[in-house]
Amino acid sequence: MQIKIVTIEREYGCGGGEIAKQLAAQLGWKLWDELLSEEIARRANCPRAVIERREERNDPLYYRLFKSFLRGSYEGSLNAHKLNLVDSESILKFTMAVVRDAAAAGNCVIVGRGSQLILREREDTLRVFLYAPGKLKVRRLMSRGKNKQEAHDLVDTVDLERAKFIEKYFKIEWPSRSVYHTMINTAIGDEAVIRTILHFMKTLQ
């Protein structure tokens, strides 16, 4: 079996994005992370910043109520076509299409966005989950400019949103161990994580 795709699911702040970037560079493969958001935004015809705020999250209550109003009102039905209502369901639809197109092209590393579940049936895909101790995640976020309170808040909330999103749309617990070939603690260091992933690729092949 030839591995052509690696999906990197990650806890927020564990360094998954940086590790995926380094892995793609070492393999000479295409990295689908920010590029994924860009392509989803292009297909959805809306700014990338909007997509990035909504990815891997359920819609907030005010947004759901607003959509319900538009769908249920005469004025809304007349004007809804003028509004790019990019809700979580729309984003998921675009995401599935982009992820499958990326996988069809092969030789790529895909970060998050449910890609591990979208591509679960593909035998040419290595599915990796990265995690880290809370203190390490906070330190990483602080090194990127977050203050200590912000870092703690993000560590506490972002993964909770991801878990709710995965449970709602894929009907599975996040993270579910059965989905992944390997789960790696990034506390061992980025280089060691990458070597471990490359080793798993060789073993599966």
Higher pLDDT, 62 or 104: 104
79 domain-assigned = no
Q: In angstroms, what CA-CA distances link 123 with 4, 6, 68, 177?
A: 9, 11, 40, 17
Q: What is the mean pLDDT of the chain?
A: 85
Rg, the chain, Cα only: 18
Number of structural domains (the chain) is 1
Structural domain harbouring 172: 5-50+93-204
65 domain-assigned = no
76 domain-assigned = no
CATH of residue 42 = 3.40.50.300
* CA pair distance 60, 185, nearest whole angstrom: 32
Tell me what percent of the residues of the chain surpass a pLDDT of 90: 61
55 domain-assigned = no
Helices (H), the chain: 16-27, 34-44, 48-54, 61-72, 74-79, 88-105, 115-118, 134-143, 148-170, 190-204
192 domain-assigned = yes
* CA pair distance 200, 167, nearest whole angstrom: 28
What does pTM read for this prediction?
Answer: 0.84
56 domain-assigned = no
Q: Which residue, among 114, 121, 67, 112, has the nearest Cα to 92 in the 3D structure?
A: 114
68 domain-assigned = no
* CA pair distance 175, 183, nearest whole angstrom: 10
pLDDT tens-digit readout, 94-128: 889 999 999 999 999 999 989 999 999 999 999 99
189 domain-assigned = yes
pLDDT tens-digit readout, 82-94: 444 566 777 788 8
